[in-house]
Structure 1
Amino acid sequence: MEVTLQGQRSDHSSSKKHPPGLYLLFFTELWERFSYYGLRSLLVLYLTTSYIQGGLGFKETTAMSIYGLYTGATYWTPIIGGYLTDRFFGRRVAITLGGITIAIGNIILFAKHSNWGLYLGLAFIILGNGFFKPNISTLVGELYAVNDKRRDAAFTIFYMGINLGAFMAPLICGFLAEDLFKTKVNEVIHYGFQYGFLVSSIGMILGQVIFNLFGKRYLGDIGKKPVGRRDKGKNNNKPLTKKEKQRTAVIFILTVFVIFFWAGFEQAGSSLTVYTNTFVHREIFGWTIPTSWFQSVNPLFIILLAPLVSALWLKLANSKKADLPIPTKMGLGMILLGLGYIILLFAVLQTGSNPNHIPHKAHILFIVATYLLHTLGELFLSPVGLSLVSQIAPVKLTSLLMGIWLAGNGIANILAGQLAAFTQSLGYFEVFSLIGITSILLGIILLFISKKLVKMME
């Protein structure tokens, strides 16, 4: 199966090439993720840095809670955005509307160094994400027939776009904020966080320009009309069949499992950032690596490993005996996440949790190894999860169910913020142990029920 330049599906599913529309969506998502991860890499540092140094001076526990609520909300609004898109907007219009709103939010953060500027800017970004996020992933699925063997590989390639943007953003935004625009006045260091926010908005605008310039050429009519309006009087008002209800149930069941995966994974922007900033030895040849740069370790591993994992899934898909069902892949992903935290516990045993008394700073390889295992877990779980939702969701509910899938990330991010805050009261060892052991146990449970879920999906 191929998609022509006009964006129309054909039935040549044996083709090894991916449609050009995939790469347009790849670059559109790349720049949106650049915007998101540029802000994400700086947010906790911006919140906890004193006002006179360019931050807002929040306590660490408050900053982590705000971070969790913000990142959580960005995954809740896709339910509303998905619902409205299915009924009133074309997906491509929703992507453009969301992109513009996100850019405005970053510009507000750049222009207003104040609490109300923070809340207003984040509100715009949260709202815009609700329209953008569920629809870009759904468009990828629409490029392929339901049984096309290239789907999992396509979503893994798409995932590379996400992580290329996520890789570049902390390096560029972090360099601007923590190095290039860092000044020293009367022995007080002032950071240029606002310039990181400005570059995030520029990235978002660039992505929208590319999407709208080449959308007609590479997507054709895909995503132009709302699904509900297109199917009105045809299939849209029919009740769900028994099989559609079972498949919808699978989406909800897997969403519950992955909530805890993301609660552990999203410590990267909060507790792992604070731990790295305080307890990890970051000096190389006399130069201190900016803390925000560690946010690029995970996407760098994604870029390096995604082609290998994509090739693995394609090879297994062509071998019916060796192929792994998606729930099994996701269960293995949860176990890998847990193992990453087990490795990090050895670092915490050296450093302790008291920032005022650090017996020995942790070697940088501990945090790198943790991110490596987390990356492998992410590749086993997230892109195939997106592929699954686009594949088995009833057509008239595709964007809504994609929004619900992403809302699971919302719950996870709120939970992640609370877990991160507990590191300041209970300690890093206790919280990281809880996350690691629970993730491994849930992964094992998912492996055991995988066959049942596959049967419900068929």
Structure 2
Amino acid sequence: MGFTNQEDQLDAHLIERGVSTKRVFDHPVGLFVLFFTEMWERFSYYGMRALLTLFLVSELASGGWEWTRESAMELYGWYTGLVYLTPLIGGFIADRLTGYRKAVVLGALIMTLGHASMALEGSGKIFFYLGLVLMILGNGLFKPNISSIVGQLYPDNSTKKDAAYTIFYMGINAGAFLGMLLCGYIGEKIGWHYGFGLAGIFMFFGMLQFYFAQRIFGVLGESPKETRERISSEKQTHTADDSIESETSSPHVVRDRLIVIIVLSLSSIFFWMAFEQAGGSMSIFAKDYTQRMLAGNAALTFKWVDAILTLFPLVIVTWVLFSLAKKIFSEYPISILFTGLSFFVIWCLGIWKVYREFNALETEVAASWFQILNSFFIITLATPFSKVWEKVFNPTGPVKFALGLILLGIGFAVLGYGSKDIPQGAATAQVSMIWLVLAYFFHTSGELCLSPVGLSYMSKLSPQKFVGLIFGVWFACSAVANWLAGMSGSLIDKISETYSLSTFFLIFAVIPGIAGLLLILFSPILKRMMHGIH
């Protein structure tokens, strides 16, 4: 189908649903309303996650709770595990009761209250725990439903849908990047409750921006019953690829593909269990075992790098906001005003942070700073990876999963090597920060091999009547993996006292590495069992 026909088809799709046909960068303006809503939600989630473990283990004198690493990591595991489990319930509530849009607004409001409660942690621990519960519940309503609205903006067979999710994914990473950078910095350098509270302010702005621009989406996400009927009708009108369709009627094809789904889902547990050490044991490594005090040229270089990393993303997302404002300000001024206010605040904070660091007598890298490297590498490596898949080497899904697991293992092998000289059972050390930087580089490379492929293959391999269940399985595996990440991370002291810190990290190198090699070994069989899905 030609480009013009695709554009006409998209316009017809939007008009039929009462959605605004105005465009920004050749996409519906509604996509960018969702972009900023998701950006601020990820700002709040990752900003808080960057602080959680560090706050729990920090000394009472610095405002922390001085928990043992084991206890802090166990709480981290329960929190992140439940965050990935509640979207199963939130998706069901939206489907049956509220609709997607109300679920997004309600989830954002609950998360805002959660951050506010956590900001009051100094008034009593009950506020901190209440905040965590509200964050878990709010995320369950928010996370699955905003992604659903993105998909509904486009016809099922639109070539723009993949590009739309890429843009949306950039919003996720921009928010995560800025949240870890600013909330982490303010939490560590100024006060923990300020960091927790700041995350909530931007969640609140994101909610208001979405709430006052809802008319842009027409009927999308409004009535669960109408949405289900429309999707059912569209699926009957748009035929899928005949070569695949004829095969799905065979029970053994369905069985084989379900086996592949199970194998890939279980493999993802090994990946995320290790990858999510970022907010746990890797944060501990950054805080207690990494040389973060810089002087001379090293300090000056870091200040300039940090300034660029702080301000450049703000320039990009401000440009996106300006482009959106030109299109919708006349119709949705309140939405744009709230987003503009949030950007004014974040620009002030960014400039203040850069100014403060350049005028500081000592340069100490915040322990939470290293977590921004994941988002930074995703943004810089996503295009090169897509070019490699497109022009050089594009293996099957199981092989990409395997590469992701192996690259993740290499990242932990780097940390294991970097910590080899730390004495057995040592509580602190001064290891070069280059090892953490390299680890995040390999971990992000692994994520780019596995994460974009995962949801795509769940959708392609699943029988149509089981799609919801299969996505539920995928998120349930992520929940299990996050819980395991906390539980396994809690063993850091026991393993480093009995063996060494290097041994602890090498365990996370070996387990994903073995899983990756097994996937490569069985990939020819798995490829046949996919029966034509590529």
Shared fold by TM > 0.5? yes
Within 1, Cα distance between the matches of 2:441 and 2:171? 18
Within 1, Cα distance between the matches of 2:113 and 2:381? 34
Quick one: which of 80, 86, 89 aligns to 2:95?
Answer: 86
1:424 aligns with 2:493: yes
Identity %: 38
Contact 2:115–2:200, Cα closer than 8 Å, also in 1: yes
More deviation in 224-233 or 31-40? 224-233
Quick one: which of 389, 410, 418 aligns to 2:479?
Answer: 410
Partner of 2:175: 165
Which deviations, in whole Å up to 9, do the C-alpha atoms of 1:70-127 show, x marking residues without a partner? Answer: 0111011111112222322322222222111111111101123232212111000001
1:50 aligns with 2:59: yes
Partner of 1:380: 449
The one-letter amino acid paired with 1:299 is: S
Partner of 1:188: none
1:261-410 pair list within 5 angstroms = 261-285=271-295, 286-313=362-389, 315=390, 323-356=394-427, 358=429, 361-390=430-459, 398=467, 401-410=470-479
Partner of 1:444: 517
Contact 1:7–1:221, Cα closer than 8 Å, also in 2: no
Within 1, Cα distance between the matches of 2:42 and 2:257? 29
Partner of 2:270: 260
Partner of 1:136: 146
Within 2, Cα distance between the matches of 1:233 and 1:22? 19
Which deviations, in whole Å up to 9, do the C-alpha atoms of 1:39-87 show, x marking residues without a partner? Answer: 1011111111234432223211101100111011101111111222232
The one-letter amino acid paired with 1:375 is: T
**Cα 1:275/1:323, change in 2 over 3 Å:** closer
Within 1, Cα distance between the matches of 2:153 and 2:263? 26
Contact 2:460–2:533, Cα closer than 8 Å, also in 1: no
Partner of 2:508: 435
Which deviations, in whole Å up to 9, do the C-alpha atoms of 1:106-164 show, x marking residues without a partner? Answer: 11011232322121110000011111112223333444555555555544433222111
TM (normalized to structure 1)? 0.84
The structure whose Rg is larger is 2
Within 2, Cα distance between the matches of 1:234 and 1:345? 52
Contact 1:86–1:228, Cα closer than 8 Å, also in 2: no
More deviation in 344-353 or 222-231? 222-231
Quick one: which of 86, 98, 101 aligns to 2:110?
Answer: 101
Within 2, Cα distance between the matches of 1:253 and 1:228? 35
**Cα 1:400/1:97, change in 2 over 3 Å:** farther
Contact 2:388–2:394, Cα closer than 8 Å, also in 1: no
Contact 2:409–2:509, Cα closer than 8 Å, also in 1: yes
Partner of 2:342: none
Within 2, Cα distance between the matches of 1:106 and 1:337? 32
Contact 2:288–2:427, Cα closer than 8 Å, also in 1: no
1:350, distance to aligned residue in structure 2 (A):
2.3
The one-letter amino acid paired with 1:279 is: Y
Quick one: which of 46, 51, 63 aligns to 1:37?
Answer: 46
1:378, distance to aligned residue in structure 2 (A):
1.0
Within 2, Cα distance between the matches of 1:8 and 1:396? 29
More deviation in 224-233 or 96-105? 224-233
**Cα 1:423/1:456, change in 2 over 3 Å:** farther
Secondary structure (helix, strand or coil) at the match of 1:426 reads helix
Within 1, Cα distance between the matches of 2:468 and 2:223? 13
> Larger relative CO (CA 8 A, sep 6+): 1 or 2?
1
**Cα 1:158/1:393, change in 2 over 3 Å:** farther
Partner of 2:329: none
Within 2, Cα distance between the matches of 1:202 and 1:247? 45
Within 2, Cα distance between the matches of 1:388 and 1:146? 16
Structure having the higher helix fraction is 2
**Cα 1:146/1:135, change in 2 over 3 Å:** same
Partner of 1:207: 206
Within 2, Cα distance between the matches of 1:117 and 1:362? 36
Note the residue ranges of structure 2 that are not aligned, 5 or more in a row: 1-5, 18-24, 234-247, 296-361
What is the total number of aligned residue pairs between the two structures?
A: 432
1:402, distance to aligned residue in structure 2 (A):
3.3
1:457, distance to aligned residue in structure 2 (A):
4.9
Contact 1:6–1:221, Cα closer than 8 Å, also in 2: no
More deviation in 241-250 or 28-37? 241-250
Partner of 2:311: none
Partner of 1:116: 126
Within 2, Cα distance between the matches of 1:311 and 1:23? 25
Contact 2:57–2:66, Cα closer than 8 Å, also in 1: yes
TM (normalized to structure 2)? 0.73
Within 1, Cα distance between the matches of 2:54 and 2:431? 20
1:24 aligns with 2:33: yes
Partner of 1:223: 221
